[in-house]
Amino acid sequence: MSAETADAAEPAENTAGSPDPGERRREQRGWYFYDFACSVYSTSVLTVFLGPYLTSIAKAAADADGFVHPLGVPVRAGSLFAYAVSASVIVAVILMPVVGAAADRSGRKKPLLAAAAYVGATATAGMFFLDGTRYLLGAFLLIVANAAISVSMVLYNAYLPQIAEPDERDAVSSRGWAFGYTSGALVLVLNLILYTGHDSFGLSESEAVRICLASAGVWWGAFTVIPLRRLRDRRVAPGSRGAVGSGWRQLMATLRDMRRHPLTLSFLLAYLVYNDGVQTVISQASVYGSEELGLDQTTLITAVLLVQILAVAGALGMGRLARVYGAKHTILASLVVWTAILVAGYFLPADAPAFFYALAAAIGLVLGGSQALSRSLYSHLVPRGKEAEYFSAYEMSDRGLSWLGPLVFGLAYQLTGSYRDAIISLVIFFVVGSVLLARVPVRLAVAAAGNPVPERI
Instruction: Give the Cα-Cα-Cα angle 164, 170, 175 (nearest 5 degrees).
Output: 85
103's CB contacts (< 8 A; 6+ apart) are 109, 112, 154, 155, 158, 388, 389
Q: Tens-of-pLDDT digits for all 457 residues of the chain? A: 333 333 333 433 444 555 577 788 899 999 999 999 999 998 899 888 898 899 999 999 999 888 888 888 888 888 888 889 888 988 887 888 788 777 877 778 899 999 999 999 999 999 999 988 999 999 999 999 999 998 998 889 888 888 888 778 778 887 887 888 889 889 989 998 999 999 999 999 999 999 999 999 999 999 999 999 999 887 765 554 444 444 556 556 666 777 888 998 899 889 988 988 888 888 788 788 888 888 888 888 888 888 878 887 887 888 888 888 999 999 999 999 999 999 999 999 988 899 999 988 998 888 878 888 888 898 888 887 777 677 766 766 655 556 678 788 878 887 888 889 888 989 999 999 999 999 999 999 999 888 888 878 8
∠ CA 302-31-141, nearest 5°, is 55
The closest alpha carbon to 268, from 451, 385, 391, belongs to 391
Tell me how many degrees the CA angle 80-84-87 measures, rounded to the nearest 5: 140
| Alpha helices (H) in 126-238, listed in sequence order | 135-158, 160-163, 169-196, 205-223, 225-230
- Per the CB < 8 A criterion, the answer to whether 120 and 41 are in contact is yes
Single out the residue of 154, 386, 380, 375 nearest to residue 257, CA to CA.
Answer: 386
Measured between its terminal Cα atoms, the distance across the chain in Å is 41
Whole-angstrom distance, CA of residue 254 vs CA of residue 449: 14
Task: Output the CA torsion 78→79→85→90 (10° steps).
Answer: -160
